[in-house]
A = this chain, B = another copy of it.
Amino acid sequence: MARAGLSTERLIQAGAELADEVGFDQVTVSAVARRFDVKVASLYSHLRGTHDLRTGIALLALAELADRAADAVAGRAGKDALTALANVYRDYAREHPGRYAAAQLRLDPAPAAASAGGRHAQLTRAILRGYHLPEPDQTHAVRLLGSVFHGYVSLELGGGFSHSAPDTEETWSRTMDALDALLRNWPHPR
């Protein structure tokens, strides 16, 4: 029998494509096997199981996102950088909804440590340099930005903003204005 040329990488790649097509939680070992026209059990030489597959997709997504983010932030500063970074998340989620969902997977400690997760926080921190926030405010701001990016993107993707005016493009742009204004005028505790 001819061999299909499977490998962990190819399986995860296929899983990521599948996730974007049918949703992350529909990604199944069986579906990936079908995609390679191979029996399900064959995948178990390359993966330990479903958990492994999903984790692999999550790590792939986190790495792709971090690469794009690094690229977007390079050579920019201030609001320009802020907007560029935010757009990376939003655009990625639109292009790759399944991968984006995967990136939200709660990882086990080991893969989490080896993930690109740290790079994301680092990139946000880099942007904040332009706003000169002292610690611990910088950390608070990193978390706030992460919350807004993720929250907005996931609500928009989930249809939370649909069927209502004004359109989300406008809101997105005004959100960037608001975040920039907030960072330039970061409040003291009250």
Contacts and interface: CB of A to CB of B under 8 A. Distances in A.
Interface of A: 25, 104, 106, 136-137, 139-140, 143-144, 146-152, 154-155, 158-161, 164-166, 168, 170-171, 173-175, 177-178, 180-182, 185-190
Q: Among the interface residues A171, A177, A180, A182, which one has the most CB atoms of the partner chain B within 10 A?
A: A171
Contacts of A160: 146
Nearest to A135: B166
Nearest to A104: B158
Nearest to A152: B147
Contacts of A136: 165-166, 170
B177 A139 contact: no
Contacts of A151: 146-152, 154
The 7 closest A-B pairs by CB, nearest first: A151-B151, A147-B151, A181-B187, A147-B152, A150-B151, A140-B174, A136-B166
A190 B166 contact: no
A19 B174 CA distance: 36
Contacts of A146: 151, 155, 160
A147 B144 contact: no
Given A143-B175, A144-B175, A177-B190, 5 more contacts: A106-B158, A144-B152, A144-B171, A178-B187, A180-B190
Contacts of A168: 143
Given A178-B186, A185-B185, A187-B178, A150 B155 contact: yes
